Amino acid sequence: MRVLITGASGQLGHDLLAAFAGDEVVGLTRADLDVASEPAVVAAVRDHAPELVVHAAAYTRVDACESDCHEAWRVNALGSWWVARACALAGAAMVYVSTDYVFDGLAGRPYTEFDRTNPQSMYGRSKEAGEQLVRQALPEHYIVRTSWLQGVHGANFVKTMLRLGRERGALSVVDDQTGCPTFASELAPAIRRLAVTGRHGTYHVTNSGHCTWFELARAVFDEAGLAVELAPTDTASYAAPAPRPAFSVLDNLLTGLIGLEPLPEWQFSLKRLVSELGDG
Ligand SMILES: NC(=O)c1ccc[n+]([C@@H]2O[C@H](COP(=O)([O-])OP(=O)(O)OC[C@H]3O[C@@H](n4cnc5c(N)ncnc54)[C@H](OP(=O)(O)O)[C@@H]3O)[C@@H](O)[C@H]2O)c1
């Protein structure tokens, strides 16, 4: 299969390149392709002639999106539209990677693919707009919502905790947001398995189980054998610019219904990541 990956130097992009290594794969970084430029996107998809585009490029700095909303719309909404339209012109299918932040987090139970979205942050709104534009432009889409992404490459919570834990020895971490940590090394091959089914649609793909950020931090320090004094705090005290959903666990209902295996419990994948980072 000929595959084109956008956002190839990002956290997920790195693991996507590995997951599609047995295919004829090309990864484009932001320096290779600005997804917000329609002519550049059309030319890239035409020239590489992929059968599948995995669109992992995004403006992912959730708090920065609040003040820089133009860029959030430009990259996450418009850029995704250009990729979908270019795929339609070239006869390619597309994976659009989306987020749990399309939900408001007020349901108090895991969200299925059939639940109504209601994003609260600019990041969530721009990603949800991207979903809508992809659905309108290209029937052959897989919209893959995931959450709390962690991997060897790029910045993420696990790596930040390991660094801060070592630097400070004592930390406060938010204990009133619940989600599912998902590991790029699990998500990337799961995306490949889904994208060869031909069953286009919207899917939730996360590791199994759930926890709060505080519980995740505790597990990181336990795995790494770091003695860190950890105190729970709440979202209000943390006062981040962007609102976060309180409970954004994604029920992977549809992948189960079509017979795909669930991803492992997050603790299993965390153990592997901490060891890959040289801390386990
Ligand atoms: N991280 C999470 O917790 C999380 C959770 C749910 C869903 N997601 C989604 O998962 C996907 C992958 O996320 P990630 O964690 O791998 O993010 P990431 O590490 O920030 O990677 C995104 C990549 O997109 C690139 N990019 C930004 N603007 C671009 C543009 N205009 N044109 C081309 N490339 C551009 C970035 O380049 P620069 O580094 O040069 O800016 C970066 O390499 C995204 O769609 C994200 O919305 C992430």
Each residue's pLDDT tens digit, 120-155: 999 999 999 999 999 999 999 999 999 999 999 999
Average pLDDT, integer, range 106-130: 98
From ligand 1's centre to the CA of 143, what distance in Å? 15
Residue 4 predicted with pLDDT over 70: yes
CB of residue 150 inside a 6 A radius of ligand 1: no
Closest CA to 120 of 138, 100, 104: 104
Give the per-residue pLDDT at 24: 98
CB of residue 35 inside a 6 A radius of ligand 1: yes
Q: Catalytic site residue 123?
A: yes
Q: How far apart, in Å, are the Cα atoms of 20 and each of 17, 212, 227, 258?
A: 5, 32, 38, 22
Q: Catalytic residue among 123, 142, 203, 238, which?
A: 123
Residue 216 predicted with pLDDT over 70: yes
Average pLDDT, integer, range 152-180: 95
CB of residue 79 inside a 6 A radius of ligand 1: yes
Mean pLDDT over each residue of the chain, to the nearest integer: 97
d(CA 54, CA 95): 5
pLDDT band for 223, please (50, 70, 90 cuts): very high
Q: Which distant-in-sequence residues (6+ apart) come within 8 Å of 247 by Cβ?
A: 105, 106, 107, 108, 109, 177, 178, 179
**Token pair 């002639």 in the structure block, residue:** 49
Residue 235 predicted with pLDDT over 90: yes
**With the C-alpha atoms ordered 176, 155, 216, 166, is the resulting torsion angle positive or negative?**
negative
From ligand 1's centre to the CA of 255, what distance in Å? 23
Give the per-residue pLDDT at 173: 96
From ligand 1's centre to the CA of 10, what distance in Å? 6
Name the 3-class secondary structure at 236: helix
Contact 280, 271 (CB under 8 A): yes
* Residue of 11, 59, 248 with the most ligand 1 atoms within 8 Å of its CB, for mutation: 11
* Residue of 60, 102, 183 with the most ligand 1 atoms within 8 Å of its CB, for mutation: 60
Cβ neighbours around 261 below 10 Å, total: 9
Give the per-residue pLDDT at 251: 98
Give the per-residue pLDDT at 280: 65
Model pLDDT for residues 19-53, shown as the tens digit of each residue? 999 999 999 999 999 999 999 999 999 999 999 99
Average pLDDT, integer, range 178-199: 98
Q: Hey, what domains does the chain have and what are their CATH numbers?
A: 2-211+241-276 (3.40.50.720)
Give the per-residue pLDDT at 279: 74
